[in-house]
Amino acid sequence: MDKRGDLQPGDQIDTLLDHQTQRLEDIANNAVDIIKINLLILGAFAPFLGTVFRNEISTEVIFESQFLRYATLSWVISSIFSTIVYRIARGKSTSQFDLLEQAIVNDWRDPDLRDEMLDNSETYEKNVNRYTVLMAMSVGLSLATVLFFALTIADTIFDLSSTSKRNAVLVVLGFGLITGFGIEIIRLLGRGRFWLSSKVDWLSSKIDFNVKIIGLNTLEIKVGKTEITEVVEFFVEKENLSPIRARLIKSIHDLFEYEPWTFDDLSSKLQDEYPDIGLTKEMIDRLVDEGYLQKIESRGPRTYLVHERREKIVNDEDIDKVVGEELGRVIGHMKQDNEVKELISQYLGTNPSNAKEVLVSGTTPERIDKLNTIIDLIRREYPHKEPPGKEYGKIQFRKSMERYQLTPKASRAFALVLVQQAKDALAEKAHIQATVLGYNGLEEFIRALVRHETPSKELDIRSLGHLLQTKEIQEKISDDDLGLIGRFREIRNKAVHEDARQIDSNEVQELLSIIENIIWKYSN
């Protein structure tokens, strides 16, 4: 802990993991309790009948009662629901630690693991809600089982009429629903969040997060000291995006705008400029699925060979010749240095006199594998021993890196925030500022739209006027909307280059609203 008593990143992760795991353990334990109650109900019913009503009730009459059939059905369904919840919740509570294993394997930083856990909390909360609903149904059915058993006894003794039986069934079902789902209904009405609120209050006291409930079991978590900008607030409030994903989109925009990038590019820049922001491929995949990022298919082969020494892709060259040249350099070193020769012989499992023949034998993939392994051995055992001017390098297979970029849907928040600022400026009679802000918001969106249609296009022309003339925009945006955009550009130019006092505030307000609608229209 630091001087303020706040938990450090590793402790934050432990606290989050403990919190989520404990909730699942509690649900699993509650399911076991219901299973025990159901067994107790079944185990108590028969002895109770045999002891209290053995002279008054016939066994044949009991088994003919429709209430006994209802009781059996509700008991079976309740037990099945409880068993399902127990098995899933118990399994999920242990699989929570799979994320830690994944973090170790992929060498995640603490912020990566923390943000992945928080970003995935929506799925976690949905699962918890499903388990809670099943538990409520199980409780209601257990209560209905008890009442149906009671009605079985009453029907056997008093021979209830058809109307009484029908009304009794309705009463039991209503009682079971109200009792079983009462807490859920109250929570849906906004009055029953005491359990979740207490958990959230406890969690926020342990972690340096500001946490508040903004909906049914939905947590808005503002992480660390990162400033929550208007854009992030727009994503969270207007588009119902988690704060983790919102601030990741904001950081991507700050670093690349709408230029394509690779996962490694983003990871490296985040570590340098936004070290508190976590990043995992799962987080990127979610943003792709939600339409805020697009994956750009790579041109050319998906797998290629890289010649380490020349730092060059050699797919189009004679690979066997390239490998032979590197093996020749290794053999030259082997002839000059007996220690290296002995090391290579041991690896190849042969004596030094046969090392050369064994080294160059085999298929091209086998020779590549031997070359790479021997180079690693030499560099590990005898670093700095490669002969000057005759260095050698590995031949490695690499996959082409997937590239991503922000979509027009992601640009919508950045553009509309500027449009809203323009409206605010207009309300203050700042006509020039209002038109410039609105113009900038429109330009932001149009640039994203062009880039989305042709990711490889060179956007060396930056003005909105030139962007509007591109083929992508002419084909994408209708003539009527282009006309409205042109009218707004005229007003902006008049405000900036002529006399702002000639500007009609009402017309600017109307055009800003139109621009806002255009952005929404073409960003989906």
Per-residue model confidence as pLDDT tens for the chain (524 residues): 344 344 444 555 666 667 677 778 888 888 888 888 888 877 776 566 555 555 566 666 677 788 888 888 988 998 999 999 888 888 777 666 666 666 665 667 777 767 777 777 667 777 888 888 888 888 888 888 888 888 887 877 777 788 888 888 888 888 877 776 665 555 555 443 433 333 334 333 433 333 333 333 333 333 333 345 788 888 888 888 888 888 899 999 999 988 888 888 898 898 888 888 888 888 898 899 999 999 887 666 667 788 888 888 888 888 889 999 999 999 989 888 888 889 999 999 989 888 889 899 999 989 999 999 999 998 888 877 777 777 888 988 877 678 899 999 999 999 999 999 989 988 888 878 888 888 889 988 988 888 877 765 565 556 777 888 888 888 888 989 888 888 888 888 777 776 656 667 787 888 888 889 999 998 87
The verdict on residue 280 lying in a domain is yes
Kindly state whether residues 478 and 455 are assigned to the same domain. yes
Kindly state whether residues 287 and 374 are assigned to the same domain. no
The verdict on residue 208 lying in a domain is no
Kindly state whether residues 103 and 232 are assigned to the same domain. no
Q: What is the pLDDT of residue 472?
A: 81
The verdict on residue 100 lying in a domain is yes
The verdict on residue 506 lying in a domain is yes
Domain final residue pick, 354, 371, 397: 397
Kindly state whether residues 52 and 157 are assigned to the same domain. yes
Domain final residue pick, 373, 397, 421: 397
Report the number of distinct structural domains present in the chain.
3
Kindly state whether residues 41 and 140 are assigned to the same domain. yes
Kindly state whether residues 39 and 90 are assigned to the same domain. yes
The verdict on residue 213 lying in a domain is no
Q: How far apart are the first and last CA of the chain?
A: 45
Amino acid found at 160: L
The verdict on residue 207 lying in a domain is no
Domain final residue pick, 397, 424, 447: 397
Kindly state whether residues 290 and 319 are assigned to the same domain. no
The verdict on residue 514 lying in a domain is yes
Q: What is the pLDDT of residue 431?
A: 79
Q: What is the pLDDT of residue 14?
A: 64
DSSP characters over 456-523: T------SHHHHHTSHHHHHHS-HHHHHHHHHHHHHHHHHHHS-GGG--HHHHHHHHHHHHHHHHHH-
Q: What is the pLDDT of residue 253?
A: 92
Q: What is the pLDDT of residue 214?
A: 32
Q: E strands within 188-319? A: 209-215, 218-223, 261-262, 293-296, 303-307, 312-313
Kindly state whether residues 448 and 498 are assigned to the same domain. yes
Kindly state whether residues 450 and 484 are assigned to the same domain. yes
The verdict on residue 217 lying in a domain is no
Kindly state whether residues 385 and 487 are assigned to the same domain. no
Its domain, for residue 357, covers 303-397
Kindly state whether residues 179 and 231 are assigned to the same domain. no
CA nearest neighbour of 176 among 224, 223, 141:
141
Kindly state whether residues 337 and 278 are assigned to the same domain. no
Ramachandran angles phi, psi of 418, nearest 5°: -65, -40
Q: What is the pLDDT of residue 386?
A: 75
